[in-house]
Structure 1
Amino acid sequence: MDVDLAQVPVLPVLEVLGVVVAAMSGALAAVRKQFDVFGILVLAWATGLGGGVLRDVLLGAVPPVGISEPRLMLAAVVGGLVMYFGHPRLERARRFIVVLDAGALALFSVVGTVTGLEHGATPLASVVVGVVTAVGGGVLRDLLTGEVPVVLHQRQLYAIPAMAGAAVTAALWALGTTGAVALTAVAVGVFALRLLALRFHLAAPGPWRAPR
């Protein structure tokens, strides 16, 4: 189905919002690690736009969004500066980072999937691209701050909500119902699923163990 992004006016808004939220997450992680202002802004950029850069590399889009879209680069800087000047007390930082990260995960799972579909990728490939977009910035943030990426440890439901959101987005695209309400509802659903998983300690299965 050939659908122009211009027909989905909510998508640019979700993308900018996702960059700001992710950049705030990265900047707050940098504040917690006592980075200087340059390090804070670099981590804000990497977290806000890293997933989009990985997405564009997979899709063959040149140059990647992280260095070619002034509005998104500005959004990353704004997110970084907001946290630089207005971060909460550090003992509360980790919880706030998790909430911000959940918001970015939700927004980017939708944006990444629709972008993949717009570039002519198959639905399956677009779901993969959506997941990479959703988790990529968080992985870069964790690596640059010396943490094990959350997607790889503690069996948290992290990539699974993003995958679900990407799959639903691809299904809605096939049905021709990628309007503002539908895409926003998907993003809200992913966000809620991630927070519920954290609240109730829902986890993915660990290594299989043979019964004794």
Structure 2
Amino acid sequence: MDPLELLISNDFLRVLDLIGVFVMGVASGALAARLKFDAVGFAIIGIAAGLGGGLVRDLILDYGTPAAFDGPWYLACALAGSLFSFLISPEGPWWRRTVTALDIAAMGLWAATGTAKSMGYGLDPLPAILLGITSAVGGGVIRDVLVGRIPAIFGGGPLYATGALVTAIITWVVIALGIPSPFVLVAVALGALLAGLASWRRWSLPKHGEWEVTMSASQLKALVRRT
């Protein structure tokens, strides 16, 4: 099976995609619960997080009707996830770890499908990879902006964007080289594994100032003389 067909039209992966939308709805609903939102707030946050990245991608690709609105399933899954958190309000570390793991898996899948879809529309490698990352993390960025906080991918959270970048690059390699389709799932697994390890081990990218080098005027002059 062609990799593009595997990622875009395969029913099994479409189901996984919808599960990812549901999970993002649940995770965003948990945030809405902490912020004491009403039912409308739960719904809006769930839709923005679950569908935002794919919606931006499809609009850029001029896809026609975005996949999020091509039938009822995507909206239904996003709203169902939000409703679950609104009614159940689960708490505890076990629940947070479960949602994080599922969220990371959805991130990897969306990075792969976004990259493949962009390649299918003839985009060059760099734009295709960028849209793959946008598909994976765009919804979370929109959600964070809506609630008035700095998006988690800009620092202080799991390496979602980095994991999405790994998945997007490997997906591009698989499709560009005609490697058998199952290796796309390896790309998803590797990106998700990186993000999962980063969440578990508290890894983060270097922040501004952490690698800053300071030199006195005399030290700078000495360095210039030596060079």
CA distance in 2, matches of 1:164, 1:86: 35
Match of 1:75 in 2: 77
Are 1:84 and 2:108 counterparts? Answer: no
Percent identity (aligned): 30
CA distance in 2, matches of 1:185, 1:39: 37
SS in 1 for 2:63: coil
CA distance in 2, matches of 1:44, 1:178: 35
5+ long unaligned stretches in structure 1: none
SS in 1 for 2:57: helix
CA distance in 1, matches of 2:26, 2:129: 25
Shift of 1:96: 5.6
Shift of 1:104: 2.7
Give the stretch that moved more between structures: 143-152 or 46-55: 143-152
CA distance in 1, matches of 2:199, 2:93: 19
Match of 2:5 in 1: 5
Shift of 1:176: 2.5
Match of 2:203 in 1: 202
Shift of 1:84: 2.3
Match of 1:107 in 2: 109
TM-score, with length taken from structure 2: 0.80
Distance 1:145 1:157, change over 3 A: same
Match of 1:189 in 2: 190
8 Å CA contact 1:30, 1:40 repeated in 2: yes
Q: Encode CA deviations 1:159-207: one digit per residue, 9 max, x unaligned.
A: 111101100011111233463x433332222222112112222221223
Which amino acid letter does the alignment assign opposite residue 48 of structure 1?
Answer: G
Q: Encode CA deviations 1:32-90: one digit per residue, 9 max, x unaligned.
A: 21111121111111100000111112212233333334221222122222222233127
Which amino acid letter does the alignment assign opposite residue 161 of structure 1?
Answer: G
Distance 1:30 1:178, change over 3 A: farther
TM-score, with length taken from structure 1: 0.85
